[in-house]
Structure 1
């Protein structure tokens, strides 16, 4: 199936109250595990790419890998640029074939974030590409983005309304609701009341950042509250490393690289299966593509 933009499939997911997993890929093997894992369970999927990963592998290589893998499966696959504040990187991703991008101006004062997000929105609308935008400060560490726990700020409801009113065709909106990137040091304090207030007013799917480490109950409540895109990055990276390390511990004299690559793939794909089932998107590929019920 050809790559798709994520906006329509997220709207269907939000309406039916299931979540679509958005995994941050690491390399070709990782992208395989995400896309083929989704295909195993007939689930829609979003392959996200960090700016750091793009700079390592290159725009053309990543776009080619994901497009080729998507062509070989029967589920909707979106290629998404994660947390980016550089308009040039966004333009280059669009030119290379990304189907959605995220502009992250959350570190800016609200007025500046809104103005810059609107400028990127004009670019994505003209290109037919979905846009994710963020307000508030989501804590934790993800690639080059770091927000100290005590600096995390919940999104302001009135600012959310004003922000989205200026960009009514956003593919997905990412307000800070108390989750954090990376592993949680304590129990996440999710502002469910803020999430429910936002989704009661704003008819745009919500992105749940910081999915690694949340409980099934927390996932269920966030998805029921309107979170249609659920980001998983840290856990996927750890499975990538564990696949190698665990096999090396089991067979320390093994010197053939391919078994390690297979072990990494298997570990990551098990994680993809687990998250798809946790978010309720198993068997939803046809629904997300706009066919059937």
Structure 2
């Protein structure tokens, strides 16, 4: 299946009460584990890429890798730019074939964030590419951005309504609801009432950032409340590292690189399959693609 746009499949997921996993790829092996894991589960998938990962591998190589994988599978695959503040990077991703991008203006004053997000929205609409936008301050580390968990700021409900009113076709909206990037230092305090209030008033799928470390109950409640896109980054990175280390511990004298690469792939792919099951998207490939029935 060719690349798909993220927005329509997220709307279908939200309407049907399941979440679509959005994994941050690291390299070719990682991207392969994401797409092939989704194929094994017959599930839609979003391959996300951080700005620092793009700067390491390049725009065209990443787009080519993921596009080839998508064309060799029967499940819908979206390629998404994660947390980006640089309009030039956004434009280059669009030119290279990304199907959606995120402009993260959450560190800006509200009025400036809205103005710049709307400008990017007009750009993505003209290019036929989906946009994710964010307000509030999600705690943790993402690329070079750090927000202490105790300094995170929940999205303001009235500002949420004002923020999206001129972006009706926004692919996904990311209001801060108490989750955090990275490994949680304590129990996440998710503002469920705020989330439910936003989704009752805003007809746009919601992104759940900071998925690593949340419980099944928390996933279930957030997805039921409208979080159709569920981000997993830290867990995938840890599997990447531990997959390599596990092979070294089992075979300390091994000098052939391929078993280490396979060990990483297997660890990451299991993570992908586990999260797809947790989010309820297994067997939903045709539904998300709009081809079911």
Q: How far apart, CA to CA, are the structure 2 residues paired with 1:248 and 1:27?
A: 20
Cα deviation, residue 150, structure 1: 2.3
Tell me the equivalent position of 1:148.
148
1: distance between equivalents of 2:242 and 2:24? Answer: 16
User: What SS does structure 2 have at the residue aligned with 1:180?
Assistant: coil
Shift of 1:123: 0.4
Cα distance in 2 for partners of 1:32, 1:144 equals 26
Superposed displacement of residue 21, structure 1: 0.1
Residue 132 of structure 1 aligns to a residue whose secondary structure is strand
Does the residue aligned with 2:134 lie in a helix, a strand or coil?
strand
Secondary structure of the residue aligned to 2:200 is helix
What TM-score does the superposition give when structure 2 sets the normalisation length?
0.99
- Unmatched 5+ residue regions in structure 1? none
What is the aligned partner in structure 2 of residue 226 from structure 1? 226
Distance 1:260 1:20 in 2: 29
SS at match of 1:252: coil
CA distance in 2, matches of 1:167, 1:252: 55
Instruction: Write out the 4+ residue segments of structure 1 that deviate beyond 4 Å after TM superposition.
Output: none
Structure 2 matches for 1:36-115, cutoff 5 A?
Answer: 36-115=36-115
Q: Deviations over 1:182-229 (max 9, x none)?
A: 000000000000000000000000000000000000000000000000
Q: Corresponding residue for 1:263?
A: 263
What is the RMSD computed on CA atoms of the aligned residues? Answer: 0.5
In structure 2, the residue matched to 1:33 is 33
Q: Distance in 2 between matches of 1:242 and 1:94?
A: 33
Counterpart of 1:48 in 2: which secondary structure?
A: strand
Aligned-pair CA distance for 1:156: 0.2
- How big is the shift at 1:140? 0.5
The offset of 1:90, in angstroms, is 0.1
Q: In structure 2, what is the equivalent of residue 239 of structure 1?
A: 239
Aligned-partner Cα distance in 2 for 1:68–1:14: 28
Q: Secondary structure at the match of 2:83?
A: strand
Q: Residue 272 of structure 2 aligns with which residue?
A: 272
Residue matched to 1:162: 162
Offset of residue 149 of structure 1? 1.6
- What secondary structure sits across from 1:230 in the alignment? strand
- 1:142 offset after TM fit, Å? 2.0
How far apart in 2 are the matches of 1:19 and 1:144? Answer: 27
Q: CA deviation at 1:148?
A: 1.2
Matches within 5 A, 1:182-261: 182-261=182-261
Shift of 1:292: 2.0
Cα distance between partner residues in 1 of 2:80 and 2:134: 15
Secondary structure of 2:18's partner? Answer: coil
Partners in 2 of 1:107 and 1:41 — Cα distance? 37
Length-normalised TM-score, structure 1: 0.99
User: Could you tell me how far apart the structure 2 residues matched to 1:31 and 1:83 are?
Assistant: 18
Distance 2:99 2:286 in 1: 19
Residue 185 of structure 1 aligns to a residue in which SS? Answer: coil
Q: Distance in 1 between matches of 2:144 and 2:99?
A: 23
CA apart distance, 1:161: 0.2
Distance in 1 (alpha carbons) for counterparts of 2:14 and 2:276: 15
Q: Which residue of 2 aligns with 1:292?
A: 292
Residue correspondences, number: 293
Shift of 1:291: 1.7
Deviation sequence 1:14-46 (CA, Å, 0-9, x none): 000100000000000000000000000000000
